[in-house]
Structure 1
Amino acid sequence: MRIATYNVEWFSTLFADDGTLVDDDSWSSRRDVTKQQQTAALGAVFQALDADAVMVVEAPDTSPKRDGCTALEHFADRFGLRARNCLIGFTNDTQQEIALLYDPDVINVTHDPKGPATGGKGEAPRFDGVFHIDLDVDDREDHIKFSKPPLEVALVTKDNQHLRLIGAHLKSKAPHGARNPAAVMRLSIANRRKQLAQCIWLRERVEQHLNAGEDLIVMGDFNDGPGLDEYEELFGRSSVEIVLGVGKEPETRMFDPHAHAALAQRIGAQMATSRFYVRREKRYLNALLDYIMVSPALADTKPNWHIWHPFDDPACWGDVELRDALLTASDHFPVTLDIVLPAPILNT
């Protein structure tokens, strides 16, 4: 089975309100890329992935006038994708949904959120609820919400193999409204605290599944990673380390080889899943932001992870059409996991 995560930069702008592709020479939200160019590039990338399931981060908007699944299913039909059915969980108001495109001939999926609708202090509620936690040392409870609630998926294969998926898109808000360096730092630290609280909330859900003996994959864009910014030293750990369970018992740790390599070597060559143009410096910045974390039993099957970075992967570089498509389609590159799921335990 091939499972992928792919952050598609402003996928929503490629569709009209009825879910059909705009597909013309008007500018997309990508720098110097038309909607027609981005659509064609995305079609080529999704075809090359040929995945059984793709967690689409920044999926098309769902709102009173738009339906993200209608848009994605139109896209899948246009390019003849096997992963042609769509699942969206709790919608949000950011125009960036978290959606799963999947092949219904291979798997069945349902949105299956866990946790109470509301949680007390120390409880992990449903991801569209409110998490109660003291973020600092003022002994006052803070109330945390997800701007993009993670998508919780119960997946069953045609061979009756069961798997849990959680798709996430975590962000620490920019310090909007700050008028001086001190205000920038104060707001940045506060926003980072909120992101770390969201990761603690997500980590509690991870531990619930692991304690229940379930196979689990957590995937998506964490906008964070080991050694990524100056605030990690202040808080002691990155968001990724929290969700992985770094420092906890081995049987409760999630695993991603790219995160593991970054943790082992903070200085030196690292993998990257995204490439951004820094206008003021007139150069590109590569960063490791996208992950596919697997539970211990899945890690034991020795799956294969692959970052489709056109400059780092010889196969992507050697295929000129695919290389150009990856660079045109998004500022992130797909990450895939090829895995043979453990056989289901049969009751006798």
Structure 2
Amino acid sequence: MRIATYNVEWFNNLFDSTDRLLADDGWSGRQDVTRAGQIEALGIVFTAMDADAIMIIEAPDQNGRRDAVAALEDFARAFDLRTRRAVMGFMNDTQQEIALLYDPDRLSALHDPRGAETGKKGAGDAPRFDGVFRIDLDIDATEDLVRFSKPPLELQVTTAQGTKLRMIGAHLKSKAPHGARTRDQVMRLSIANRRKQLAQAIWLRARIEAHLAQGEPLILLGDLNDGPGLDEYEDLFGRSSVEIVMGDEGDMGLLDPHARMALKRRLGPVPTSARFFLPKQGRYLQALLDYVMISPDLRARNPRWRIWHPFDDHDCWKVPELREALLTASDHFPVVLDIDI
């Protein structure tokens, strides 16, 4: 079975108010890319992946007027994709939902959140992801209240072979220091925002450990927006959110070989899954932000990971149409797991 995660930049901009694809010459939101151009590129990438399930990060908006599931299923119909069914969990206010697009002939997927519901006061024992988490962020004997801006998507998945497993789609993000005017203000806001992101990682890790303690196979996938060496404040906190979510190697640790490789190498080449243009510097920054992590029991299912990077992956590079489509479709590239489930 092939399972992937893919952060699609500005996916929401590709649909009209009735959740139908808007393939015209208007700008998509991507630099110098029209809506029609991005839609065509995404069709090429999704068709080439031929995955059984794709966790879409930054999926189309869900609110009282927009329907993310309808939009994704319209996209699937347009390109005759096997992954023609979509499911999402708790909506958010960012116009960047988390949703799974999947082939219903290969698996079933149900939104199945765990944890207690909370009011405004929150709870300190890994509550439901749309709730409030109480944690002392700055060791001042006062608990802070933490919320997910994008609540992770929790799914109960059953494959056609009868394998049952848990799947969590996540998009952790540390906000930029908006409103800061001085260097000290930028520093204070940046540290506070990173502290909140690490708190979200701790919350997510608590849920992971609960699943592992119950012997439930687990796949966690998505954009963690963090990794070794990406943040100037990393040394201040000791660990990145990626390290927190993965845990230590062993019976309670998750495995993603790209992440493990990056964590062990402070110098030298590391895998990357995203590419951003820095206009002031006139160059591109590459980073490892996207992950597919599996529980220890799934390591015996012959897992094989691949980042569909247009320059680093030979099979992507040698097909010009696919290479260009990957560059046009998003600033992230798919991370794909093939596994015998």
Task: Give the structure-2-normalised TM-score.
Answer: 0.98
Counterparts of 1:299 and 1:190 in 2: how far apart (Å)? 36
Partner of 2:13: 13
Partner of 2:145: 143
Counterparts of 1:157 and 1:210 in 2: how far apart (Å)? 19
Counterparts of 2:244 and 2:21 in 1: how far apart (Å)? 39
Preserved contact between residue 122 and residue 145 of structure 2 (Cα < 8 Å): no
| Superposed displacement of residue 120, structure 1 | 6.0
Task: Give the structure-1-normalised TM-score.
Answer: 0.96
Preserved contact between residue 123 and residue 132 of structure 2 (Cα < 8 Å): no
Partner of 2:136: 134
Q: How does 1:62-101 map to 2 (within 5 A)?
A: 62-101=62-101
| Superposed displacement of residue 159, structure 1 | 2.3
The 1:207–1:26 alpha-carbon spacing in structure 2 relative to 1, beyond 3 Å, is same
Partner of 2:161: 159
Counterparts of 1:156 and 1:83 in 2: how far apart (Å)? 15
Letter in 2 for 1:65: R
Counterparts of 1:46 and 1:243 in 2: how far apart (Å)? 28
SS at match of 1:202: helix
**In structure 1, which of residues 183, 186, 195 is the aligned counterpart of residue 185 of structure 2?**
183
SS at match of 1:86: strand
Partner of 2:230: 228
SS at match of 1:260: helix
Counterparts of 1:110 and 1:327 in 2: how far apart (Å)? 32
| Superposed displacement of residue 232, structure 1 | 1.0
> Paired residues, what number?
339
Partner of 1:58: 58
Counterparts of 2:19 and 2:292 in 1: how far apart (Å)? 29
Letter in 2 for 1:194: K
SS at match of 2:170: strand
Counterparts of 1:161 and 1:186 in 2: how far apart (Å)? 47
The runs of 5 or more residues in structure 2 that have no matched partner are none
Partner of 2:210: 208
SS at match of 2:301: coil
- Structure 1 residue 48 and structure 2 residue 54: aligned? no
1:224-264 deviation digits (Å, cap 9, x = unpaired): 012221111000000000000126xx110001000100111
- Structure 1 residue 38 and structure 2 residue 38: aligned? yes
Counterparts of 2:235 and 2:6 in 1: how far apart (Å)? 29
1:160-187 deviation digits (Å, cap 9, x = unpaired): 2101100000100000111100110000
Partner of 1:122: 124
| Superposed displacement of residue 157, structure 1 | 1.3
Q: Which runs of 4+ in 1 moved over 4 A?
A: none
Partner of 2:278: 278
| Superposed displacement of residue 64, structure 1 | 1.1
- Structure 1 residue 292 and structure 2 residue 289: aligned? no
SS at match of 1:51: coil
Aligned-residue CA RMSD (Å): 1.0
Letter in 2 for 1:142: D
Counterparts of 1:123 and 1:146 in 2: how far apart (Å)? 15
Report which stretch shifted further, 97-106 or 111-120.
Answer: 111-120
Partner of 2:196: 194
Preserved contact between residue 308 and residue 335 of structure 2 (Cα < 8 Å): yes
SS at match of 1:300: helix
Counterparts of 1:90 and 1:304 in 2: how far apart (Å)? 30
Preserved contact between residue 122 and residue 131 of structure 2 (Cα < 8 Å): no
Partner of 1:316: 316
* Percent of paired sites with the same residue: 62
Counterparts of 1:320 and 1:254 in 2: how far apart (Å)? 35
1:100-119 deviation digits (Å, cap 9, x = unpaired): 00000111110000000028
Partner of 2:105: 105
| Superposed displacement of residue 122, structure 1 | 3.3
The runs of 5 or more residues in structure 1 that have no matched partner are 342-348
Counterparts of 2:261 and 2:170 in 1: how far apart (Å)? 21
